[in-house]
Amino acid sequence: MTTYGLLIFDKVEALDFVGPWQVFASSAAVRARDGAGVDTVVTIAERPDPVRCNKGPLRVVPDHTLDDHPPLDVLLVPGGTGTRHEMTNPAVLEWIQRMTARVDWLASVCTGAELLHAAGPARGRRVATDWELEDELEARGDITIVRDARYVVDGNLVTSQGVSAGIDMALWLIGRLHGRAHSRFVRRKIQYEPAPPFMADEPLVS
């Protein structure tokens, strides 16, 4: 059994956590179908109120607060402009510090790496983050930014670049936990086979 906890906060970048949530939830459904275990995926916020996402009126109601969530095996910290506020929020930073010693895997997407640096667990580690934040985070010191890598693994810390890169990171993580074949099946199930348009001179389709 694996329990995934996804931290959310006001002005969180939606796909930063929804992308990994889709991977983890799909993984849990496949494992339950196969009788391999009952995994759980929960969202966690400081308060029980709906959280407003970064790009507009989308709101998410958290499953748990910092004080009432189940024990976690994996903690994922997403990014978004809200990380600027959370970096000075002692309740969230102290909770991340406590959880670092309790989870098997700590993960971040995008500017979530800033929160992990502010809270401590990313210090002295190799990380990936949003390409627009790399220089700023590197300037904070005591951290090594790995550029041009969708995700980076350093011990039990796995970090990814921005937004969609969190899906790659989550697929790697379920492969590490439950095997490569399982991860490949989940990737196929969610039809994550990136083929972005306009990468070459293909014609527009009307």
For the chain, the distance separating the N- and C-terminal CA atoms, rounded to the nearest angstrom, is: 47
Given 7, 99, 107, 110, the catalytic residue: 110
- What is the distance between the alpha carbons of residues 156 and 191, in angstroms, rounded to a whole number? 27
Angle between helices 180-189 and 14-33 (to 10 degrees): 110
| Cβ within 8 Å of residue 73, ≥6 positions away | 2, 3, 4, 103, 104, 105
Is 78:60 a contact under the CB 8 Å cutoff?
no
Is 157:121 a contact under the CB 8 Å cutoff?
yes
Verify whether residue 53 is a known catalytic residue.
no
The catalytic site residues sit at 110
